[in-house]
Structure 1
Amino acid sequence: MLDSTDTRLLAALQKDAHLTAQQLGEILNLSPSQAGRRRQRLEAEGYIEGYSARLDPVRLGLRVQGFVQVQLATHGPEQSSSFARLVRTRAEIISAWTMTGDADYLLRVFCDDLPALNSLIHNVLLPHPAVARVHSQIVMDQLKRDAPLPT
Protein backbone atom coordinates (compact mmCIF):
# COMPACT_ATOMS: atom_id res chain seq x y z
CA MET A 1 0.00 0.00 0.00
CA LEU A 2 1.30 3.44 -0.91
CA ASP A 3 1.18 6.31 1.52
CA SER A 4 1.14 10.00 0.56
CA THR A 5 4.94 10.24 0.81
CA ASP A 6 5.30 7.34 -1.61
CA THR A 7 2.94 8.96 -4.11
CA ARG A 8 4.79 12.28 -3.84
CA LEU A 9 8.08 10.44 -4.38
CA LEU A 10 6.69 8.69 -7.47
CA ALA A 11 5.34 11.98 -8.84
CA ALA A 12 8.72 13.66 -8.33
CA LEU A 13 10.60 10.83 -10.05
CA GLN A 14 8.22 10.90 -13.02
CA LYS A 15 9.11 14.57 -13.50
CA ASP A 16 12.84 13.99 -13.04
CA ALA A 17 14.22 10.46 -12.68
CA HIS A 18 17.70 11.88 -11.98
CA LEU A 19 16.75 13.22 -8.55
CA THR A 20 19.32 12.21 -5.97
CA ALA A 21 18.39 10.89 -2.54
CA GLN A 22 19.40 14.31 -1.18
CA GLN A 23 17.04 16.12 -3.56
CA LEU A 24 14.21 13.64 -2.91
CA GLY A 25 14.70 14.08 0.80
CA GLU A 26 14.36 17.85 0.45
CA ILE A 27 11.17 17.49 -1.61
CA LEU A 28 9.65 14.95 0.79
CA ASN A 29 10.97 16.42 4.06
CA LEU A 30 12.92 13.21 4.74
CA SER A 31 16.57 12.47 5.30
CA PRO A 32 18.44 11.40 2.16
CA SER A 33 18.79 7.86 3.54
CA GLN A 34 15.04 7.60 4.23
CA ALA A 35 14.23 8.89 0.73
CA GLY A 36 16.73 6.46 -0.80
CA ARG A 37 15.26 3.51 1.10
CA ARG A 38 11.75 4.43 -0.01
CA ARG A 39 12.90 4.61 -3.63
CA GLN A 40 14.61 1.23 -3.32
CA ARG A 41 11.47 -0.31 -1.78
CA LEU A 42 9.26 1.08 -4.56
CA GLU A 43 11.70 -0.33 -7.13
CA ALA A 44 11.81 -3.73 -5.42
CA GLU A 45 8.01 -3.87 -5.16
CA GLY A 46 7.64 -3.09 -8.86
CA TYR A 47 6.03 0.34 -8.60
CA ILE A 48 9.08 1.70 -10.43
CA GLU A 49 9.76 -0.52 -13.43
CA GLY A 50 12.86 1.29 -14.67
CA TYR A 51 14.28 4.58 -15.84
CA SER A 52 14.65 5.88 -19.38
CA ALA A 53 15.51 8.97 -21.39
CA ARG A 54 12.86 10.70 -23.52
CA LEU A 55 14.33 11.28 -26.97
CA ASP A 56 13.25 13.72 -29.68
CA PRO A 57 12.10 11.57 -32.63
CA VAL A 58 12.41 14.39 -35.19
CA ARG A 59 16.04 15.07 -34.23
CA LEU A 60 16.65 11.33 -34.72
CA GLY A 61 15.19 11.50 -38.24
CA LEU A 62 11.89 9.85 -37.32
CA ARG A 63 9.57 12.33 -39.00
CA VAL A 64 6.43 10.18 -39.23
CA GLN A 65 4.50 8.97 -36.22
CA GLY A 66 1.48 6.80 -36.78
CA PHE A 67 -1.04 4.51 -35.20
CA VAL A 68 -1.77 1.28 -37.03
CA GLN A 69 -4.83 -0.82 -36.27
CA VAL A 70 -4.50 -4.49 -37.16
CA GLN A 71 -7.32 -6.98 -37.47
CA LEU A 72 -6.45 -10.66 -37.56
CA ALA A 73 -8.20 -13.09 -39.89
CA THR A 74 -8.16 -15.84 -37.29
CA HIS A 75 -7.79 -15.59 -33.53
CA GLY A 76 -6.14 -18.79 -32.43
CA PRO A 77 -3.24 -18.84 -29.96
CA GLU A 78 -0.74 -19.71 -32.71
CA GLN A 79 -1.76 -16.73 -34.87
CA SER A 80 -1.71 -14.34 -31.92
CA SER A 81 1.70 -15.59 -30.77
CA SER A 82 3.12 -15.37 -34.28
CA PHE A 83 1.88 -11.80 -34.70
CA ALA A 84 3.19 -10.80 -31.24
CA ARG A 85 6.64 -12.18 -32.19
CA LEU A 86 6.60 -10.08 -35.36
CA VAL A 87 5.68 -6.95 -33.40
CA ARG A 88 8.54 -7.50 -30.93
CA THR A 89 11.10 -7.75 -33.75
CA ARG A 90 10.30 -4.40 -35.37
CA ALA A 91 12.09 -1.39 -33.88
CA GLU A 92 9.75 1.09 -35.54
CA ILE A 93 6.84 -0.36 -33.53
CA ILE A 94 7.47 1.30 -30.19
CA SER A 95 4.34 0.08 -28.40
CA ALA A 96 1.50 -2.31 -29.05
CA TRP A 97 -1.78 -3.09 -27.37
CA THR A 98 -4.46 -5.73 -27.77
CA MET A 99 -7.81 -4.05 -28.13
CA THR A 100 -11.55 -4.55 -27.99
CA GLY A 101 -13.64 -3.40 -30.93
CA ASP A 102 -12.90 -3.62 -34.65
CA ALA A 103 -9.13 -3.81 -34.33
CA ASP A 104 -7.37 -6.61 -32.50
CA TYR A 105 -4.13 -4.62 -32.08
CA LEU A 106 -3.14 -0.98 -31.97
CA LEU A 107 0.48 -0.24 -32.84
CA ARG A 108 2.30 3.03 -32.28
CA VAL A 109 5.02 3.45 -34.87
CA PHE A 110 7.78 5.91 -35.73
CA CYS A 111 9.26 5.86 -39.23
CA ASP A 112 11.80 7.95 -41.12
CA ASP A 113 9.27 8.99 -43.75
CA LEU A 114 6.05 7.99 -45.50
CA PRO A 115 7.74 5.42 -47.77
CA ALA A 116 9.12 3.70 -44.65
CA LEU A 117 5.63 3.59 -43.11
CA ASN A 118 4.25 2.27 -46.39
CA SER A 119 6.92 -0.44 -46.42
CA LEU A 120 6.14 -1.45 -42.84
CA ILE A 121 2.47 -1.82 -43.70
CA HIS A 122 2.76 -3.44 -47.15
CA ASN A 123 5.96 -5.48 -46.76
CA VAL A 124 5.79 -6.52 -43.10
CA LEU A 125 2.31 -6.35 -41.57
CA LEU A 126 -0.04 -7.22 -44.44
CA PRO A 127 1.99 -10.24 -45.63
CA HIS A 128 1.75 -11.84 -42.18
CA PRO A 129 -0.54 -14.87 -42.60
CA ALA A 130 -2.73 -13.99 -39.62
CA VAL A 131 -3.40 -10.39 -40.70
CA ALA A 132 -6.71 -9.65 -42.43
CA ARG A 133 -6.80 -5.84 -42.39
CA VAL A 134 -4.60 -2.87 -41.51
CA HIS A 135 -5.78 0.68 -40.99
CA SER A 136 -3.23 3.44 -40.42
CA GLN A 137 -3.49 6.96 -39.11
CA ILE A 138 -0.65 9.46 -39.41
CA VAL A 139 -0.10 11.87 -36.55
CA MET A 140 -0.25 15.48 -37.75
CA ASP A 141 0.67 17.05 -34.41
CA GLN A 142 1.00 15.80 -30.86
CA LEU A 143 -1.01 18.01 -28.53
CA LYS A 144 0.22 16.39 -25.34
CA ARG A 145 3.41 14.43 -24.79
CA ASP A 146 3.29 11.15 -22.98
CA ALA A 147 2.52 12.38 -19.51
CA PRO A 148 3.37 10.99 -16.09
CA LEU A 149 0.83 8.58 -14.63
CA PRO A 150 -1.55 10.11 -12.13
CA THR A 151 -0.40 9.35 -8.59
Structure 2
Amino acid sequence: MPNIQLDSIDLKILKILQEDADISNVSLADRVGLSPSPCLRRVRILEEAGIIKKRVTLLDASALGLHVSVFVLVQLERQIKEQLAAFETEIRKRAEVVECYLMTGESDYLLRVLVPDLATYERFLKDSLTRIEGVANIRSSFALQQVSYSTALPLVHLQ
Protein backbone atom coordinates (compact mmCIF):
# COMPACT_ATOMS: atom_id res chain seq x y z
CA MET A 1 0.00 0.00 0.00
CA PRO A 2 1.60 3.28 -1.12
CA ASN A 3 2.22 5.94 1.51
CA ILE A 4 0.73 9.23 0.33
CA GLN A 5 0.55 12.72 1.80
CA LEU A 6 -3.04 13.86 2.19
CA ASP A 7 -3.77 17.50 1.47
CA SER A 8 -6.88 19.52 2.33
CA ILE A 9 -8.66 18.49 -0.88
CA ASP A 10 -8.01 14.79 -0.18
CA LEU A 11 -9.43 15.26 3.31
CA LYS A 12 -12.53 16.99 1.90
CA ILE A 13 -13.00 14.13 -0.56
CA LEU A 14 -12.73 11.56 2.24
CA LYS A 15 -15.13 13.46 4.49
CA ILE A 16 -17.73 13.77 1.76
CA LEU A 17 -17.41 10.13 0.65
CA GLN A 18 -17.83 8.96 4.25
CA GLU A 19 -21.12 10.86 4.37
CA ASP A 20 -22.32 9.81 0.89
CA ALA A 21 -20.49 7.10 -1.04
CA ASP A 22 -23.11 7.37 -3.82
CA ILE A 23 -22.26 10.97 -4.70
CA SER A 24 -21.48 11.42 -8.37
CA ASN A 25 -17.96 12.38 -9.34
CA VAL A 26 -19.29 15.61 -10.85
CA SER A 27 -20.99 16.59 -7.57
CA LEU A 28 -17.95 15.56 -5.54
CA ALA A 29 -15.66 17.58 -7.78
CA ASP A 30 -17.93 20.61 -7.47
CA ARG A 31 -18.00 20.36 -3.66
CA VAL A 32 -14.20 20.12 -3.35
CA GLY A 33 -13.45 22.76 -5.99
CA LEU A 34 -11.95 20.59 -8.71
CA SER A 35 -12.95 19.64 -12.21
CA PRO A 36 -14.25 16.06 -12.55
CA SER A 37 -11.14 14.51 -14.12
CA PRO A 38 -8.63 15.55 -11.41
CA CYS A 39 -11.18 14.68 -8.72
CA LEU A 40 -11.65 11.17 -10.10
CA ARG A 41 -7.86 10.79 -10.32
CA ARG A 42 -7.54 11.70 -6.63
CA VAL A 43 -10.27 9.22 -5.65
CA ARG A 44 -8.49 6.48 -7.62
CA ILE A 45 -5.18 7.31 -5.89
CA LEU A 46 -6.91 7.11 -2.49
CA GLU A 47 -8.35 3.72 -3.50
CA GLU A 48 -5.01 2.40 -4.77
CA ALA A 49 -3.32 3.56 -1.56
CA GLY A 50 -5.83 1.54 0.45
CA ILE A 51 -7.23 4.60 2.21
CA ILE A 52 -10.59 4.02 0.56
CA LYS A 53 -11.11 0.29 1.14
CA LYS A 54 -14.55 -0.14 -0.38
CA ARG A 55 -17.95 1.49 -0.64
CA VAL A 56 -20.95 -0.08 1.04
CA THR A 57 -24.61 0.54 1.73
CA LEU A 58 -25.47 0.89 5.41
CA LEU A 59 -28.67 -0.83 6.42
CA ASP A 60 -30.94 -0.05 9.37
CA ALA A 61 -30.68 -3.08 11.68
CA SER A 62 -33.92 -2.30 13.49
CA ALA A 63 -35.87 -1.88 10.23
CA LEU A 64 -34.66 -5.37 9.29
CA GLY A 65 -35.84 -6.87 12.56
CA LEU A 66 -32.44 -6.99 14.28
CA HIS A 67 -33.59 -5.40 17.52
CA VAL A 68 -31.10 -6.94 19.98
CA SER A 69 -27.49 -5.78 20.10
CA VAL A 70 -25.25 -7.76 22.42
CA PHE A 71 -21.67 -7.08 23.45
CA VAL A 72 -19.99 -10.36 24.32
CA LEU A 73 -16.71 -10.75 26.19
CA VAL A 74 -15.03 -14.08 25.48
CA GLN A 75 -12.16 -15.55 27.44
CA LEU A 76 -10.22 -18.49 26.05
CA GLU A 77 -8.63 -21.26 28.10
CA ARG A 78 -5.21 -20.37 26.72
CA GLN A 79 -3.95 -17.52 24.59
CA ILE A 80 -1.84 -19.53 22.20
CA LYS A 81 -1.56 -18.84 18.50
CA GLU A 82 -3.45 -21.96 17.39
CA GLN A 83 -6.36 -21.41 19.77
CA LEU A 84 -6.66 -17.74 18.78
CA ALA A 85 -6.64 -18.65 15.09
CA ALA A 86 -9.23 -21.42 15.59
CA PHE A 87 -11.56 -19.08 17.49
CA GLU A 88 -11.24 -16.36 14.84
CA THR A 89 -11.92 -18.84 12.03
CA GLU A 90 -15.11 -20.05 13.71
CA ILE A 91 -16.35 -16.58 14.64
CA ARG A 92 -15.95 -15.33 11.05
CA LYS A 93 -18.49 -17.99 10.00
CA ARG A 94 -21.23 -16.45 12.15
CA ALA A 95 -23.28 -13.76 10.41
CA GLU A 96 -24.67 -12.59 13.77
CA VAL A 97 -21.19 -11.40 14.76
CA VAL A 98 -20.85 -8.01 13.08
CA GLU A 99 -17.67 -7.01 14.92
CA CYS A 100 -14.92 -8.96 16.65
CA TYR A 101 -11.86 -7.54 18.39
CA LEU A 102 -8.87 -9.25 19.98
CA MET A 103 -8.50 -7.45 23.30
CA THR A 104 -6.09 -6.81 26.13
CA GLY A 105 -7.24 -7.20 29.72
CA GLU A 106 -9.39 -9.86 31.34
CA SER A 107 -11.15 -10.98 28.15
CA ASP A 108 -9.54 -12.12 24.95
CA TYR A 109 -12.27 -11.03 22.53
CA LEU A 110 -15.05 -8.50 22.35
CA LEU A 111 -17.88 -9.35 19.97
CA ARG A 112 -20.83 -7.31 18.83
CA VAL A 113 -23.73 -9.57 17.95
CA LEU A 114 -26.98 -8.50 16.25
CA VAL A 115 -30.05 -10.74 16.48
CA PRO A 116 -33.83 -10.32 16.23
CA ASP A 117 -34.62 -11.43 19.78
CA LEU A 118 -33.37 -13.04 22.98
CA ALA A 119 -34.32 -16.54 21.86
CA THR A 120 -32.12 -16.19 18.78
CA TYR A 121 -29.24 -14.96 20.92
CA GLU A 122 -29.72 -17.90 23.28
CA ARG A 123 -29.53 -20.30 20.30
CA PHE A 124 -26.41 -18.55 19.00
CA LEU A 125 -24.84 -18.82 22.45
CA LYS A 126 -25.74 -22.49 23.02
CA ASP A 127 -25.31 -23.82 19.49
CA SER A 128 -22.33 -21.79 18.32
CA LEU A 129 -20.31 -19.80 20.80
CA THR A 130 -20.14 -22.34 23.62
CA ARG A 131 -19.20 -25.07 21.13
CA ILE A 132 -16.02 -23.36 19.94
CA GLU A 133 -13.12 -25.32 21.33
CA GLY A 134 -11.08 -23.45 23.93
CA VAL A 135 -13.77 -21.00 25.07
CA ALA A 136 -13.53 -20.75 28.86
CA ASN A 137 -15.83 -17.87 29.78
CA ILE A 138 -18.54 -15.80 28.09
CA ARG A 139 -20.11 -12.61 29.46
CA SER A 140 -22.93 -10.88 27.62
CA SER A 141 -24.14 -7.30 27.96
CA PHE A 142 -27.28 -6.17 26.18
CA ALA A 143 -27.44 -2.68 24.68
CA LEU A 144 -30.57 -0.86 25.81
CA GLN A 145 -30.23 2.08 23.43
CA GLN A 146 -27.74 3.18 20.80
CA VAL A 147 -26.76 6.68 21.89
CA SER A 148 -24.15 7.39 19.23
CA TYR A 149 -23.02 5.53 16.13
CA SER A 150 -20.89 6.55 13.20
CA THR A 151 -19.08 4.76 10.45
CA ALA A 152 -17.13 7.93 9.61
CA LEU A 153 -13.55 7.97 10.82
CA PRO A 154 -12.29 11.12 12.56
CA LEU A 155 -9.94 13.02 10.22
CA VAL A 156 -9.28 16.07 12.41
CA HIS A 157 -5.77 14.90 13.37
CA LEU A 158 -4.75 15.01 9.68
CA GLN A 159 -5.62 18.67 9.15
Q: Specify the code of the residue in structure 1 equivalent to 2:109.
A: Y
* Equivalent-residue separation in structure 1 for 2:120 and 2:37 (angstroms): 49
1:14-33 matches, within 5 Å, as 14-33=18-37
CA RMSD of aligned residues (A): 0.9
* Equivalent-residue separation in structure 1 for 2:117 and 2:140 (angstroms): 14
Normalised by the length of structure 1, the TM-score is: 0.96
1:64-103 matches, within 5 Å, as 64-103=68-107
CA shift, 1:45, in A, is 0.6
Q: Specify the code of the residue in structure 1 equivalent to 2:86.
A: S
CA shift, 1:123, in A, is 2.1
Query: Sequence identity, in percent?
Result: 37
The equivalent of 2:10 in structure 1 is 6
Match of 1:129 among 120, 126, 133: 133
CA shift, 1:127, in A, is 2.3
Note if 1:119 corresponds to 2:118. no
CA shift, 1:146, in A, is 2.2
CA shift, 1:128, in A, is 1.7
Spell out structure 1 runs of 4+ moving beyond 3 A: none
Normalised by the length of structure 2, the TM-score is: 0.92
CA shift, 1:12, in A, is 0.5
Note if 1:149 corresponds to 2:153. yes
* Equivalent-residue separation in structure 1 for 2:106 and 2:92 (angstroms): 22
**Aligned pair count?**
151
Match of 1:56 among 60, 64, 68: 60
* Equivalent-residue separation in structure 2 for 1:18 and 1:35 (angstroms): 15
* Equivalent-residue separation in structure 1 for 2:150 and 2:7 (angstroms): 25
- Where does the alignment leave 5 or more consecutive residues of structure 1 unmatched? none
